[in-house]
Structure 1
Amino acid sequence: MILIRRHIVFYGSVQGVGFRYRARNAAEHFGCTGWVHNEWDGSVSMEIQGTEEQIDAVIMAIERGTFVNIENMDARTVPLEESEYGFSVR
């Protein structure tokens, strides 16, 4: 099992639609760690750590959310956080 960590910025209808709480619930369900945060420009930033499959499952679960409409995502791989436990809404 190869762990990766991604920093992802989501654009579209992603604030005021339960995005961050859906992200936290999905991350906890699929066993990922990290955080999610609303940005001043209307986007949402997330750092998520898990396997590629776990991260993909979390993103798909978020996209299925009522009122959530992800128009674009910018993703990059970042270094792992070895001592991180859980997933938080910031």
Structure 2
Amino acid sequence: MNENVRLTAWVRGRVQGVGFRWWTRATALELGGLVGYAGNLGDGRVQVVAEGARAQCERLLDWLHHGDTPGRVDGVTEIWGQPRGGYEGFEIR
């Protein structure tokens, strides 16, 4: 059973101005089947919203926590929910 889910993750650390959103988009596209976005927040965090198969979202979350990301990730907070739709692909905002 691999239902579709919505992952919303807030990544804190040195994640703005270092290519982190680009890396997140490239990772999501590499995993395949994910739609959503990565966007900068005013407080220095990056918000990542990904919708797709739970296994792919979990892999993306694992990469956000432990991958060789640009910058420095100090922590990730996430919530899970039902997909809302409305995304064409995976965007940088």
Give TM class, smaller chain.
0.7 to 0.9
What amino acid maps onto 1:50 in structure 2? G
What is the count of residue pairs matched by the alignment? Answer: 89
Q: Spell out, residue by residue over 1:39-65, the C-alpha distance to the aligned partner (whole angstroms, 9 max, x if none).
A: 111100111112232123224445312
Aligned counterpart in structure 2 of residue 77 of structure 1, from 65, 80, 89: 80
CA distance in 2, matches of 1:56, 1:81: 18
Q: Which residue of 2 aligns with 1:29?
A: 30
TM-score by length of 2: 0.81
Partner of 1:68: 71
Q: 1:39 to 1:83 in 2, by over 3 A?
A: closer
After superposition, residues 34-49 of structure 1 pair within 5 angstroms as 34-49=36-51
Q: 1:43 to 1:61 in 2, by over 3 A?
A: same
CA RMSD of aligned residues (A): 1.7
Unaligned runs of 5+ in 2: none
How many angstroms apart in 1 are the aligned matches of 2:19 and 2:45? 13
Cα distance in 1 for partners of 2:75, 2:85 equals 29
| Residues 43 and 83 of structure 1: CA distance in aligned 2, closer, same or farther (over 3 Å) | closer
Instruction: Name the % identity.
Output: 25
Q: Give a deviation string over 1:1-48, Cα, whole Å, max 9, x none.
A: 311101110001111111100111111111211011001111001111
For residues 14 and 31 of structure 2, what CA distance do their matches in structure 1 show? 24
